[in-house]
Amino acid sequence: MRSGTAVARLRAFAAVPEMVAIRTALPYSFVGLVLGIATFVALQPSGEFLQKFYRAFAPAFGIMAALLLVLLTIDLAKRRNVPPAAALPIACAVFLLSLPYRHASSPVALLRALGTSGLFLAIVVAIAVVALLAVSRARLGSAGGTFVAASLAVGVAALLFFFGISLTEWLDVAIAPLGTLGDSLAALLVITLVETLLWTIGIHGPALLAAVVLPVYLQLQFENTEAMAHGLPLPHVVTVSTFLFVFPGGAGATLPLVLLLLRNKIKRARQVALATLVPTLFNANEPLMFGLPLVSNPYLSVPFVLAPLVLALVTWFAMHLGLVARPALYIPSSVPLPISVVLATKDWRAVVLIAINVGLAAAIYAPFVRLFERHEAAETA
């Protein structure tokens, strides 16, 4: 009963409008990162392309944050029955008043100073503004409530700006411990475990954790990219791109599972594996999760959780000991292996590490796949 209640609460939390809106808006905001990189590379008059590319990452995150603010405010406003036309101007005004102006001598420098902290700023501002509007409009009516909410939100932001207090800098201080805790073997194992355990009960683990985990690890990724751009040692092992080595094929490290199922004696399992092979190569394994299914599967849930934990251990030690370079660049998980890991680390040894990881995961999955095969054969006999 208690486990059922816990699952219900997790699903209820995942369905909260704020969580749904963040999960919806975050992927689209990466368009801002891509456009920002292209723009800032073009704006740099001289230098090698790779150096210009590395330097473009920091201000591009600022563009991503601005786009996230717009997308998240509009989406969340609709979910909270607040007019987006009222919420968006207020959110933009608060966001602009909260930027770290004293660290910037130009618009590009301002975006660079904002960095990935802007993602947290966009999330905090969008949620706060929409919540304030929803409460104020419910109590004071549409016109009066909107006026009061706008006056309060913009007024507080303007007051902080007048006294030289930057909300962005406050957030930097607040999330600093998260970055320290995040770049550790323990954090890597905990996140890996939580994501896979949630999936086994039908909850999209990466999507549920994205609101908290993604901005933190993008910040660590950004710090690695900045260090590389200045010729310094990369400070962090655990970044967004580290998970490319932990989850080959998607959550649960399912690429080797699909390869094993292609030779399965059960026709339905072979058909599912064949149908999901291409998506899995691009780390999109939702079709496999529900087509096989993997969710609540008593035979495959154990390796689904165990394999990524082993890969996390191997990956962390390989990078910590310098056997493979630490991830320098953010590479989307939709880029197929092994291209993604080579681009992320700029190290050919990443191919060796991902091959070892896939082999280890296949060895972990293999005996459980045989048990699953026997069970399916008995069911169809």
Q: Is the pLDDT of residue 237 over 80?
A: yes
Residues contacting residue 197 through CB under 8 Å, at least 6 positions apart? 205, 305
Q: Is the pLDDT of residue 278 over 90?
A: no
pLDDT given for residue 154 in this prediction = 92
Q: Tell me which of 50-64, 203-217, 244-258, 323-337 is least confident.
A: 203-217
Percent of the chain with pLDDT over 90: 33
Q: What residues does each domain of the chain span?
A: 2-164, 185-380
pLDDT given for residue 121 in this prediction = 85
pLDDT given for residue 356 in this prediction = 96
Q: What is the mean pLDDT of the chain?
A: 83
pLDDT given for residue 178 in this prediction = 57
Query: What is the spatial distance between Cα 211 and Cα 217, in angstroms, rounded to a whole number?
Result: 11
Residue 273 confidence class, pLDDT cut points 50, 70, 90: confident
Q: Is the pLDDT of residue 1 over 60?
A: no
> Angle at which helices 205-229 and 117-140 pack, to 10 degrees?
140
Q: pTM for the full model?
A: 0.72
Q: Is the pLDDT of residue 204 over 80?
A: no
Query: What is the spatial distance between Cα 58 and Cα 54, in angstroms, rounded to a whole number?
Result: 8
Average confidence (pLDDT) over 140-168: 87
pLDDT given for residue 270 in this prediction = 84
Q: Tell me which of 266-275, 308-317, 356-365 is least confident.
A: 266-275
DSSP collapsed to 3 states, the chain? CHHHHHHHHHHHHHCCHHHHHHHHHHHHHHHHHHHHHHHHHHHCCCCCHHHHHHHHHHHHHHHHHHHHHHHHHHHHHHHCCCCHHHHHHHHHHHHHHCCCHHHCCCHHHHHHHHCCHHHHHHHHHHHHHHHHHHHHHHHHCHHHHHHHHHHHHHHHHHHHHHCCCCHHHHHHHHHHHHHHHHCCHHHHHHHHHHHHHHHHCCCCHHHHHHHHHHHHHHHHHHHHHHHHHCCCCCCCCCCHHHHHHHCCCCCCCCHHHHHHHCCCCCHHHHHHHHHHHHHHHCCCCHHHHHHCCCCCCCCCHHHHHHHHHHHHHHHHHHHHCCCCCCCCCCCCCCCCCCHHHHHHHCCCHHHHHHHHHHHHHHHHHHHHHHHHHHHHHHHHC
For the stretch 90-115, pLDDT in tens is 999 999 888 877 766 777 777 777 76
Average confidence (pLDDT) over 37-66: 78
Bigger pLDDT: 327 or 229?
A: 327
